[in-house]
Amino acid sequence: MTKHVLIADDEPNIVISLEFLMRREGHRVSVARDGDAALQAIRRERPDLVLLDVMMPGRSGFDVCQAVRADEALAGVKILMLSAKGRDTDLAKGTALGADAYLTKPFSTRELADKVREMLE
Amino acid sequence: MLSSPLVLAASFAYLLLLFGVATFADARARGDRSVIGNAWVYTLSMGVYCTAWTYFGSVGRAATSGLWFLPIYLGPTLAMLLAWPVLRKMIRIARQYRITSIADFIASRYGKSRALAALVTLIALVGILPYVALQLKAISSGYALLTAAPGAAHVGGPWWRDSTLYFALALAGFTIAFGTRYLDTSERHEGMVAAIALESVVKLLAFIAVGVFVCWGLFDSPADIFARAAARADLKPLLGLGGESRFAGGQWFALTLLAMLSVIFLPRQFQVMVVENVDERHIKRASWAFPLYMLLINLFVLPIALGGLLHFGAGPADPETFVLSLPLAQGQAALALVAFIGGLSAATGMIIVEAIAVSTMVSNDLVMPLLLRFGRRDARDLSGTPLAVRRSVIVALLLMGYLYFRIAGEAYALVSIGLISFAAVAQFAPALLGGMFWKGGTRAGALAGLTAGFALWAYTLMLPSIAKSGWLATAFMNEGLFGLTLLRPEQLFGLTGLDSLTHALLWSLLANAGLYVAVSLARVPSAREAGQALLFVDVFRRAPGAGAAAPVFWRGRARLAELQALAARFLGAETAQRLLADFARRSGVAGIERIAADAQLVQFVETQLAGAIGSASARAVVAAVVEEEPLAPDDVLRMLDEASQVRALNRQLESLDKLKDDFMSSVTHELRTPLTSIRAFAELMRDDPQMDSAQRQQFLALVVAEAERLSRLVNQVLDMAKIESGHADWRNDEIDLRELVAHALQTTAEAFRERGAQTQLNQPPQMPLLHADRDRLLQVLLNLLSNAAKFVPPGRGRVVVTLRSDEQGATIEVCDNGPGVPPEQQQLVFEKFRQGGAAHARPQGTGLGLPISRQIVEHFGGRMWLRSAPGQGACFGFELPWHRKEQSQ
């Protein structure tokens, strides 16, 4: 069954690779290039899952995550956070803010695909 | 007339109410839900300044001399409006060093001197005794007036039938219950403060109630009263400023000054304003609210006084009891009872706070030192002793007050007694204020000043007052001591023309301040004095609250076990254990047994003990269990330097650490980003051998681009690190900027052509040679040009390079017609890893190009800037001087 995945990242090449990977997994993909666009897209499109980068211009991934979790209407949206910082405190912060999973960049595409599959089951 | 049982029952019920409030506030304080933690309660508690003296005495004074009651309230008003920063400093000092009384404050400042502490305590005790007597007298005569048949004079019975004695004893019990239930090392009494604040409300409301009754019940309006008084020849002078006819400026000044000093230095004022203060910020509101309180409570003084005089005529009625006798004469029994309760609250408030404050001082600074020296020096647990001593002192104080009242109370009006007390505590001013703002004051100076001031006070004010009461031959007053007219106490050294109070104040303060300064200047402060002087005068510059950061002027050897035993001896084993465990936790060690017995610990134990037994006694008992090395004044300065150097270094290290962390975290992020793309594309191609070749080609191109970005980044990070650490190699070439710019444009020509952008060069026909590193400058130019190429709109880009030269140096600007940089980002573009451009359009840069360029330009003594308006393109420029000032890298 086709699921809808939103990719929120400001690095064009990372977006290209994630887009390719998610399509290959058989998902419908849309893209947001910064935090505000991501939040708008989530509210508008209600994706099944968001691949959410932490360091984005404007609203950070943490802010987006918090805003989504504060909105009960968006409770069904799964969030997988991606961060190039990968310190323990960031991981803890992401989980505390209600992210469903957290991967550090660079990530293994297989691991990411597995995780997404598991989360969408 | 009211029945005795009714008055007694009402008084007792009122005291019970106070006790209930205090118990409630104490319970809340233990539950960490303080009821006194606000500025209004603080302000009201300062109202303890207004005693029975205000309540009854002001009216009496107004009735005999008009506006002369005013300076006593103008002084505190001025003090609060003008001197609240002084008060704030006192509070900070007291909090920081656990100072619990005014004697402790002065003694602590001058090297924790026991002699000084004892002297200040003695002055306070002698000075305050008449004041306590005055309160008893007020209650006693008020009670007599209420319960006696109209017109009947009060006849003193034998002492055992005197209700005043039992009242004094009841108050002693009350004070003990309020103030000495347990030993708190910060010496704070929340319950007492809450009760005092309530008393301030009660006395204010009661007084206003009487005022309203007199103004609108007895007469038509205040204007009516003043008009009738003005019509009477004997009352008219009361409405003017001079009492008689002439305005006595000197006397007004003396009285106002006296009251200014008293509002801060009276032991009870010090207690509520400094010791009981919970938050320094409360002073702000109190600085106008307390004067407002003073205004309200004085509003009806003159109307009541004049009303009483008009009503009773020149009869036998005592003006000091008009507050009671006016309602009584009108049959307003209930109002009279309310007025009596108001007076009672004014008197009890003063007695309770004063007794607590003085008992702390007497116990810490007179009795404990004697006990430690002669008695129980070997007793293991002394933690109950300070409390027992204080309780005894409270009882003794009230009994002595009663004795004074029996002996001298009848002879003097309330106001005169009060002023004698004021003049005594005014003697604290030079040593205390000098000690807070002048580092040169010494113990010897303070001792000399206080002794002289006190002696002159006793000779010129106290002794004459006793003589006038008939308890001393008055010969010395008229003829002078030993028959020397120069020594006549009220015309000392032939000084005449002043009233006795101004005269006494002038001489005593003159001698006091003069000797304090002169003797202090005669000798350099000792190390101990200098250390305490620094801690007091510079209290705001020392790190607040952080005990570990404040400098400690101590050197020697100590043993943990001994200090622990000492703390347990005076504070109780349980409290000592808790305090030390707390100290261990704050010092970051595992447990009490791991605490290092260093100067910090000695200081900590001494400060805790100071709260219980005063700083002078604490100093002495600590000195007895540790081996101390004497310090020289130079040592103190050195220790101070070290403390501040260590603090400064720590701060520097912390900020460097943070900078390094931020940089590392940014670099990590920047390195991981291209790595993420490279790894993702490589894995996607690996997992999908069937991928079509166009797709594969696109991915491979991206991998190559990201790998290039990565190596660029690595190079630039290294470059940046080299420049910043000063390890970069700088060559010194002779550069023709025209040639260099041409070279840079040629290098970037391909990039501009790809974007379809035009370039234009404006330059003078010739330019002087510049001394700089050619490769580095080329790096800067290439960076600016490639930035411009990235940001111009595709197909219609236009980049203008302008080269100028003047006498100072050369200027190069690169202007594009791209989107420009929004104002809020213009400062950021020169910071590391802050790339410009909207997110989705952000070209692949490292975020280090501009920061490095700026570093290079600045290395050659130039500066770099950005001029941009959104939508109008961006101009990056820099200038370089022909002659570089040698700068140290």
Task: Tell me which residue in B680, B706, B839 faces A33 most closely, judged by beta carbons.
Answer: B839
**CA dist., res. B10 & res. B5, Å (int):** 8
Angle at B671 between CA B667 and CA B672, to 5 degrees: 115
- The answer to whether the CB atoms of A10 and B681 lie below 8 A apart is no
Highest mean pLDDT among B289-293, B321-325, B387-391: B289-293
Contacts of B825 in chain A (CB under 8 A): none
* Residues B825-840: tens digit of each pLDDT: 777 788 777 655 444 3
**CA dist., res. A88 & res. B244, Å (int):** 84
Strands A101-104 and A78-83: parallel
Task: Tell me which residue in A21, A24, A85 faces B668 most closely, judged by beta carbons.
Answer: A85
Q: At which residue do the structure tokens 């111009």 appear?
A: B792
Q: At which residue do the structure tokens 């002048």 appear?
A: B438
Whole-number pLDDT of residue B876: 93
B843: pLDDT strictly greater than 50: no
Q: Terminal CA-to-CA distance of chain B, rounded, Å?
A: 94
B277: pLDDT strictly greater than 50: yes
- The answer to whether the CB atoms of A16 and B684 lie below 8 A apart is no
Question: Three-state SS string across B739-774, please?
Answer: HHHHHHHHHHHHHHHHHCCEEEEECCCCCCCEEECH
A106 touches chain B (CB under 8 A): yes
Q: What is the mean pLDDT of residues B407-429?
A: 74
Ramachandran sector of residue B316 (left: φ over 0; alpha: ψ -120 to 50; beta: rest): alpha
Task: Tell me which residue in B675, B705, B840 faces A106 most closely, judged by beta carbons.
Answer: B675
Share of chain B above pLDDT 90, in %: 10
Local structure of B881: helix, strand or coil: strand
Best CA proximity match to B599, nearest among B553, B531, B559: B553
Amino acid identity at B326 = L
Amino acid identity at B121 = T
B245: pLDDT strictly greater than 60: no
Taking CA–CA distances from B675, the nearest residue in chain A reads A106
Token output for B167: 């009242």
Q: What does the DSSP 8-state code read for residue B239?
A: G
B678: pLDDT strictly greater than 90: yes
**CA dist., res. A33 & res. B614, Å (int):** 68
- The answer to whether the CB atoms of B839 and A109 lie below 8 A apart is no
Local structure of B805: helix, strand or coil: strand
A7 touches chain B (CB under 8 A): no
**CA dist., res. B240 & res. B431, Å (int):** 37
A23 touches chain B (CB under 8 A): no
- The answer to whether the CB atoms of A109 and B840 lie below 8 A apart is no
Whole-number pLDDT of residue A22: 94
* Residues B482-525: tens digit of each pLDDT: 666 666 767 666 666 667 788 888 888 889 999 999 998 888 77
Whole-number pLDDT of residue B191: 84
- The answer to whether the CB atoms of A14 and B688 lie below 8 A apart is no
Radius of gyration of chain A (CA): 13
**CA dist., res. B69 & res. B63, Å (int):** 9
Q: Terminal CA-to-CA distance of chain A, rounded, Å?
A: 10
| Kind and range of the H or E run holding A83 | strand A78-83
* Residues B184-209: tens digit of each pLDDT: 655 677 888 888 899 999 999 999 99
Q: What is the mean pLDDT of residues B854-869?
A: 88
Contacts of B706 in chain A (CB under 8 A): 13
For residue A13, give how far its alpha carbon lies from the nearest alpha carbon of chain B (Å).
6
Whole-number pLDDT of residue B155: 47
- The answer to whether the CB atoms of B683 and A109 lie below 8 A apart is yes
* Residues A21-66: tens digit of each pLDDT: 999 999 999 999 889 999 999 999 999 999 999 888 778 899 999 9
Share of chain B above pLDDT 70, in %: 84
What angle, 0 to 180 degrees and rounded to 10, lies between the N-to-C axes of helices B599-613 and B560-571? 10
For residue B753, give how far its alpha carbon lies from the nearest alpha carbon of chain A (Å).
24
Whole-number pLDDT of residue A8: 94
Strands B733-735 and B798-805: unpaired
- The answer to whether the CB atoms of B677 and A87 lie below 8 A apart is no
Task: Tell me which residue in B669, B681, B842 faces A55 most closely, judged by beta carbons.
Answer: B669
Cα dihedral B393, B397, B399, B401, rounded to 10, equals 180
All residues at 6 or more sequence positions from B753 whose CB lies less than 8 Å from its CB, including other chains:
none
Is B369 within 8 Å of B119 (Cβ atoms)? no
Task: Tell me which residue in A85, A107, A109 faces B665 most closely, judged by beta carbons.
Answer: A85
Whole-number pLDDT of residue B166: 81
- Cα–Cα distances (Å) from B221 to B236, B306, B330, B384, B855, in that order, read 18, 12, 17, 58, 82
Is B456 within 8 Å of B508 (Cβ atoms)? yes
Q: What is the mean pLDDT of residues B266-294?
A: 87
- Average pLDDT across chain B, whole number: 81
B889: pLDDT strictly greater than 60: no
Q: What does the DSSP 8-state code read for residue A41?
A: H
Taking CA–CA distances from A35, the nearest residue in chain B reads B839
Is B402 within 8 Å of B133 (Cβ atoms)? yes
Taking CA–CA distances from A83, the nearest residue in chain B reads B669
Whole-number pLDDT of residue B92: 85
For residue A14, give how far its alpha carbon lies from the nearest alpha carbon of chain B (Å).
5
Q: What does the DSSP 8-state code read for residue B634?
A: H
For residue A116, give how far its alpha carbon lies from the nearest alpha carbon of chain B (Å).
15
**CA dist., res. B595 & res. A117, Å (int):** 56
Q: Is the pTM of this model over 0.90?
A: no
- Report residue B153's pLDDT band, with 50, 70 and 90 as the boundaries: very low
Best CA proximity match to B571, nearest among B583, B560, B559, B580: B580
* Residues B94-132: tens digit of each pLDDT: 887 788 888 888 988 888 888 888 899 988 888 888 888
The count of other CB atoms within 10 Å of the CB of residue B293 is 23
- Return the beta strands (E) in B495-635 as ranges: 556-557, 627-628
| Kind and range of the H or E run holding B336 | helix B333-362
State phi, psi for B176 to the nearest 5 degrees. -60, -45
A89 touches chain B (CB under 8 A): no
- The answer to whether the CB atoms of B676 and A16 lie below 8 A apart is no
Mark which residues 24-83 of A lie under 8 Å from B by CB.
24, 33-34, 55-58
Whole-number pLDDT of residue B160: 60
- The answer to whether the CB atoms of A108 and B684 lie below 8 A apart is no
* Residues B703-733: tens digit of each pLDDT: 999 998 888 888 888 888 888 777 788 888 8
**CA dist., res. B454 & res. B83, Å (int):** 25
Q: What is the mean pLDDT of residues B755-769?
A: 90
Bond into B525 cis (ω within 30): no
Amino acid identity at B322 = F
Is B323 within 8 Å of B62 (Cβ atoms)? no
**CA dist., res. B457 & res. A113, Å (int):** 93
Q: How many CA atoms, within 13 angstroms, populate the side-chain half-sphere of residue A71? A: 17
The count of other CB atoms within 10 Å of the CB of residue B423 is 25
Task: Tell me which residue in B669, B687, B702 faces A13 most closely, judged by beta carbons.
Answer: B702
- Report residue B579's pLDDT band, with 50, 70 and 90 as the boundaries: confident
Contacts of B681 in chain A (CB under 8 A): 13, 17
Token output for B579: 């305090």
Contacts of B676 in chain A (CB under 8 A): 11, 14, 84, 105-107
> Is the Cα torsion angle B695, B701, B704, B710 positive or negative in sign?
negative
Instruction: Decide which of A76 and B607 is more confident.
Output: A76
Instruction: Decide which of A74 and B164 is more confident.
Output: A74
Q: Count chain A–chain B contacts defined by CB atoms under 8 A.
A: 71
Contacts of A55 in chain B (CB under 8 A): 669
> What are the helix (H) ranges across B523-598?
527-537, 560-571, 573-587
* Residues B19-78: tens digit of each pLDDT: 888 888 888 877 777 777 788 888 888 888 888 878 888 888 888 777 777 887 888 888
Token output for B671: 């390195």
Whole-number pLDDT of residue B635: 66
Taking CA–CA distances from B673, the nearest residue in chain A reads A84
Ramachandran sector of residue B743 (left: φ over 0; alpha: ψ -120 to 50; beta: rest): alpha
Whole-number pLDDT of residue B477: 65
Best CA proximity match to B414, nearest among B405, B426, B402, B427: B405
Instruction: Decide which of B3 and B14 is more confident.
Output: B14
B842: pLDDT strictly greater than 60: no
A13 touches chain B (CB under 8 A): yes
> Is the Cα torsion angle B294, B297, B303, B305 positive or negative in sign?
negative
The residues with which B876 forms a beta bridge, in sequence order, are B814, B866
Whole-number pLDDT of residue B486: 62
Is B802 within 8 Å of B812 (Cβ atoms)? yes
State phi, psi for B734 to the nearest 5 degrees. -95, 120
Local structure of B256: helix, strand or coil: helix
- The answer to whether the CB atoms of A84 and B669 lie below 8 A apart is yes
Q: How many CA atoms, within 13 angstroms, populate the side-chain half-sphere of residue B258? A: 23
Contacts of B678 in chain A (CB under 8 A): 106
> Is the Cα torsion angle B827, B835, A82, B717 positive or negative in sign?
negative
Q: What is the ipTM of this complex?
A: 0.93
> What are the helix (H) ranges across B413-474?
414-425, 428-437, 443-457, 463-468
Whole-number pLDDT of residue B810: 92
Strands B798-805 and B758-762: parallel
Instruction: Decide which of B662 and B135 is more confident.
Output: B135
Whole-number pLDDT of residue B471: 65
State phi, psi for B812 to the nearest 5 degrees. -125, 130
- The answer to whether the CB atoms of A13 and B687 lie below 8 A apart is no
